[in-house]
Amino acid sequence: MQRHFDKVVEFCKKKNVKTVLEIGGIRSLDYNYVVGDGHATVHWINNFEEVYSYDIEPRVKELTLFATAYSEKLTAETKDGVLAIKEFPKQIDLLYLDAWDVIPGTDYKEKHLEAFQAAEEKLHDNSVILIDDMEHGENGKGGLVIPYALTKGWKRMDIGKQAILYK
């Protein structure tokens, strides 16, 4: 998985990503910092200038701050992802959607679409959208986001279990 994530970071650097808005933070500690259970945040702070991480669970904020050694590049808050996007005052270079996990009975597909739609006015031609957990196919987190984004001129590329949307 690390190899796939390195390719994602490389792609983002080519798109000049500086500001990352992440929905879904670190949910467990893995002292090897293997990407998984939210460890993307570690890679974001190691490669980009500003990282904003939002998760609805207070415990996740604390784990995210701890795992990133309280990096000055990181702002982590306990907040609903859609609300965080709506209130975000900047343009978004990378929108990472990895929340509302794929649990039967949840509206995770709808929430990810709502998050993307909330972000649209803050995205630009070099923005990148990264959606995790696409191994679930059309039933995954991008099940509604991807078809919608494609109608809006976004292109899709898959790297590992992530889907990348770009223009």
Domain ranges of the chain: 2-166
Fold of 2-166: Rossmann fold (3.40.50)
What's this model's pTM, rounded to 2 decimal places?
Answer: 0.90
pLDDT in the model for residue 60: 86
Mean pLDDT of 120-137: 91
Q: Which helix (H) or strand (E) holds 113?
A: helix 108-119
**Going along 8-166, which residue ranges are E strands?**
19-23, 50-55, 74-78, 94-97, 128-131, 155-159, 162-166
pLDDT band at 151 (very low <50, low <70, confident <90, very high): very high
Tell me the average pLDDT across 58-83: 90
Which residue has better confidence, 104 or 146? Answer: 146
Pairing outcome for strands 155-159 and 162-166:
antiparallel
Backbone angles phi, psi at 78, to 5 degrees: -90, 110
Written as six digits, the tokens of 51 are: 């990282």
- Check whether 166 has a pLDDT greater than 60: yes
